């Protein structure tokens, strides 16, 4: 509900039950200023993107819209034990984390897990995993697990990192990663029936954080984010790049 009243300056102020007082004059100036920028609209793939990576990436399961929208997702390494007892390590992004069960549970939603990979197979077998967050220093080593993914391999040590025993689940942890979330499988769901990728929900049952990251896990040396091949449909270039990024705090929203 919004109620209006006049401020002492003569400007109209409006009260919102959601956000409090809004100076409608200032709000109008803000929206008018913002409306000066032209917005481009895309429903179908622009002609300029046809024949580019944004087009043929469908072969790898990516929509062209992903490269236009470019919403960053956290980067992390999910570790499990394969059926032969060897550690499996799988780089993941396209995920989110949320509380549920009236605050009694904390969950990871992995939105794009390949049904044909070791991660999907091992989680279905053991129902347990660890989510490992790396800093910039160990990004290359974690990415190396993509190549060191033979079934017979210890994918963690083969990539130059160390295995630690988890405290609450039957899954390996990566010692070099600054934060490790021990998890148990909750459910899986196909976004589209018959798809070759699924969403997985994992409940976080325990947390490990190294002492250097206790005060801040989101700064220059904190959680990395995947920026996936950002494209400008109005000026398509021959090559593009994936980036790993960190957060920069811009607005102090409130104090609790």
Cα atoms in the 13 Å half-sphere on the side-chain side of 111 = 10
Q: What is the CA radius of gyration of the chain?
A: 23
What's the mean per-residue pLDDT of the chain?
89
pLDDT of residue 123: 98
Alpha-carbon gap, residue 133 to 135, rounded angstroms: 7
Q: Enumerate domains of the chain plus CATH numbers.
A: 2-34 (no CATH), 71-227 (2.30.110.10)
pLDDT band at 77 (very low <50, low <70, confident <90, very high): very high
Q: Which pLDDT tens digit goes with each residue over 90-131?
A: 999 999 999 999 999 999 999 999 999 999 999 999 999 999
Alpha-carbon gap, residue 102 to 79, rounded angstroms: 28
pLDDT of residue 19: 47
Sheet holding 73-74, edge to edge: 73-74, 225-227, 243-245
pLDDT of residue 33: 55
Alpha-carbon gap, residue 128 to 79, rounded angstroms: 9
Q: Which pLDDT tens digit goes with each residue over 142-195?
A: 999 999 999 999 999 999 999 999 999 999 999 999 999 999 999 999 999 999
Is the pLDDT score of 141 beyond 50? yes
User: Residue 195: phi, psi to the nearest 5?
Assistant: -70, 160
**What pTM was estimated for this model as a whole?**
0.85
* Residue 114: how many other CB atoms lie within 10 Å: 14
């Amino acid at each position: 509900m919004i109620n209006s009243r006049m401020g002492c300056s003569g400007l109209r102020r409006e009260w919102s039950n959601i956000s409090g007082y809004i100076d409608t004059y200032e709000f109008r100036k803000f929206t008018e200023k913002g409306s000066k920028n032209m917005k481009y609209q895309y429903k179908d793939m622009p002609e300029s993107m046809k024949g580019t990576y944004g087009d043929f990436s469908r072969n790898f399961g990516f929509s062209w819209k992903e490269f236009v929208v470019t919403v960053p997702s956290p980067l992390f390494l999910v570790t499990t034990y394969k059926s032969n007892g060897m550690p499996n390590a799988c780089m993941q992004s396209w995920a989110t984390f949320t509380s549920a069960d009236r605050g009694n549970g904390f969950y990871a939603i992995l939105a794009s897990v390949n049904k044909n990979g070791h991660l999907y197979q091992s989680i279905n077998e053991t129902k347990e995993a660890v989510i490992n967050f790396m800093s910039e220093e160990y990004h290359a080593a974690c990415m190396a697990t993509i190549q060191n993914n033979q079934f017979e391999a210890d994918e963690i040590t083969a990539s130059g990192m160390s295995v630690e025993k988890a405290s609450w689940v039957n899954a390996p942890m990566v010692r070099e990663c600054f934060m490790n979330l021990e998890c148990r499988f909750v459910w899986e769901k196909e976004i589209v029936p018959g798809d070759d990728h699924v969403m997985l929900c994992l409940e976080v049952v325990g947390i490990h954080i190294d002492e250097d990251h206790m005060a801040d896990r989101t700064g220059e040396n904190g959680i990395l984010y995947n920026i996936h091949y950002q494209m400008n449909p109005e000026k398509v270039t021959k090559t593009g790049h994936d980036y790993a990024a960190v957060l920069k705090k811009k607005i102090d929203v409130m104090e609790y």
